[in-house]
């Protein structure tokens, strides 16, 4: 079998802080097949966005390797990196800060095309811009408007069009809908899904919202303090969550149904500091099942049932 599109091995990203090394991403590994979506789920500070930025080489990794379409991309630079970025793109969370406020809609979408000489010829480029705008559901009337005149949903569409202009094969979606209202959220999610279908895109979908990834991903990796604590096909994860953190996360989501009663796991305390973590399970301080071993060793991610990996000593 050919190698998967993306292979990540033991990826690490540490940041130097006055208090010590911040382990933002600490030894994570996963693979992603062409055309699939991996949901990267976790709460703020768990390292999910850092992972996305390291993958796109917006940040340099501290350790580990990344292979994309058979090519080692861990340390590539310069022209090779620019070439890689034709294939890898990102859609950002904040539709307000991810678009240059001084550029019109068409200027923003045109920039990747002209910078990379994807298409040449003035008229051809203009046509392509209009085509991209139509692709993401922006009327051509908006070509000369500025971002501040547009709402979050439409700005997010501009960001998507800018990414699509590169004709990428792989996109990191970094919380693309969490800043949007629900009715607009669904519009953008559907748009992303349609683009995936029509262009054969591969996604990493970063979010804190399990309900969103449930609909979107083929596989989900749950992150906690820089590590993947559970990874499984989507349906399996929702039916049979194994890690205590995943269980708590799932039970914490308020369900919009009347009289929905479920036993809720209320975690005590909050995420502990990712600065210079000890060699222990990072969840143990909040875990009611923690025992001695959890405090003396960090549990490895092991396959419990086919495709379902969990990092917890309780799960056998």
Partner 1 sequence: MSEKVLSIENLVVHYELEAETVHAVNGISLSIGKEETLGLVGETGAGKTTAALSIMRLIQSPPGAIKSGAVVLNGRDVTGLPIRRMEAIRGKEVAMIFQDPMTSLDPVFTVGDQIAESIALHEKLSKADAMKRAEEILELVGIPRSRALEYPHQFSGGMKQRVVIAIALSCNPSLLIADEPTTALDVTIQAQVLELMKELKNKYQTAMLMITHDLGVVSEICDNVAVMYAGRIVEVGSAKDIFLHTAHPYTEGLFNSLPNINARVESLKPIPGLMPNPAELPPGCAFAPRCSYAGERCHTSKPVPRELESGHIVECLAYDDPSFQIVRRWGNG
Partner 2 sequence: MNGNTCNLQSPASKKAQSHWAGVWRQFRKNKGAMAGLIVVLLAILTALTIGFFVDYDEHVIRQNIPMRLQPPSLEHPLGTDELGRDLMVRILYGSRYSLAVGFGSVGIAALIGIALGAFAGFYGGYKEDVVMRLTDIFAAIPGLLLGAVIVASLGASLTNLILALGLASIPQFVRITRASVLTVRDQEYVEASWVIGLTGRKIIFSHILPNCLSPIIVTATLQVAQNIISASAMSFLGLGVPAPDPEWGALLSAGRSYMRTHGYLTLFPGLSIMLIVLALNLLGDGLRDALDPKLKR
Going by C-alpha positions, the residue among 235, 234, 210, 229 that lies closest to residue 286 is 229
Going by C-alpha positions, the residue among 232, 306, 253, 244 that lies closest to residue 281 is 244
Question: Which tokens hold the place of 303?
Answer: 């396959």
187 makes contact with partner 1 (CB under 8 A): yes
Among 8, 25, 38, 90, interactor with partner 2 by CB under 8 A: 90
DSSP E strand stretches across 82-132: 88-91
Consecutive H or E run containing 295: helix 292-296
- Rounded Cα distance, 231 and 221, in Å: 4
310 makes contact with partner 1 (CB under 8 A): no
Q: Interface mask (CB under 8 A) for partner 2, residues 34-73, using x and -?
A: -------------------x--x-x---------------
Contacts of partner 1 in 133-152 (CB under 8 A): 151-152
What does the chain come to in residues? 316
Residue range at the interface with partner 2 (CB under 8 A); choices 79-87, 232-240, 246-254, 256-264: 79-87
97 makes contact with partner 2 (CB under 8 A): yes
124 makes contact with partner 1 (CB under 8 A): no
254 makes contact with partner 1 (CB under 8 A): yes
Among 33, 43, 94, 131, interactor with partner 2 by CB under 8 A: 94
Question: Which tokens hold the place of 306?
Answer: 């086919």
Q: Are 238 and 55 in contact (CB under 8 A)?
A: no
Consecutive H or E run containing 160: helix 152-164
Residue 212's binding partner out of partner 1, partner 2, none, with CB under 5 to 8 Å set by partner kind? partner 1
Residues that bind partner 1 (CB under 8 A): 43-44, 151-154, 181-187, 189-190, 193-194, 208-212, 214-216, 234-235, 238, 248-260, 264, 266-267, 270-271
């Amino acid at each position: 079998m050919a190698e998967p599109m993306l292979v990540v091995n033991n990826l690490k990203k540490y940041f130097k802080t006055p208090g010590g090394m911040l382990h933002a991403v600490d030894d994570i590994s996963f693979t992603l097949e062409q055309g699939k979506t991996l949901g990267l789920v976790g709460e703020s500070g768990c390292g999910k966005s850092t992972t996305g930025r390291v993958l796109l080489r917006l940040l340099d990794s501290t350790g580990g390797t990344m292979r994309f379409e058979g090519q080692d991309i861990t340390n590539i630079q310069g022209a090779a990196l620019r070439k890689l970025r034709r294939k890898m793109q990102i859609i950002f969370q904040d539709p307000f800060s991810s678009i240059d406020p001084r550029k019109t809609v068409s200027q923003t979408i045109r920039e990747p095309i002209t910078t990379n000489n994807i298409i040449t010829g003035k008229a051809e480029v203009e046509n392509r811009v209009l085509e991209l705008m139509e692709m993401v559901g922006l009327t051509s009337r908006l070509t000369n408007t500025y971002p501040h005149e547009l709402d979050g949903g439409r700005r997010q569409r501009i960001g998507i069009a800018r990414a699509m202009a590169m004709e990428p094969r792989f996109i990191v979606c970094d919380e693309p809908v969490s800043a949007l209202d629900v009715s607009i959220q669904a519009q953008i999610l559907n748009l992303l899904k349609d683009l995936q279908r029509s262009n054969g895109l591969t996604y990493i979908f970063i979010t804190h919202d399990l309900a969103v990834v449930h609909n979107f991903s083929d596989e989900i990796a749950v992150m906690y303090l820089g590590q993947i604590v559970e990874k499984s096909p989507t349906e399996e994860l929702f039916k049979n969550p194994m890690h205590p953190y995943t269980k708590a996360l799932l039970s914490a989501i308020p369900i919009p149904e009347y009289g929905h009663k479920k036993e809720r796991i209320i975690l005590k305390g909050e995420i502990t500091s990712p600065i210079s973590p000890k060699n222990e399970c990072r969840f143990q301080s909040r875990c009611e099942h923690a025992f001695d071993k959890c405090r003396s060793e960090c549990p490895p991610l092991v396959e419990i049932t086919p495709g379902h990996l969990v990092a917890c000593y309780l799960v056998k």
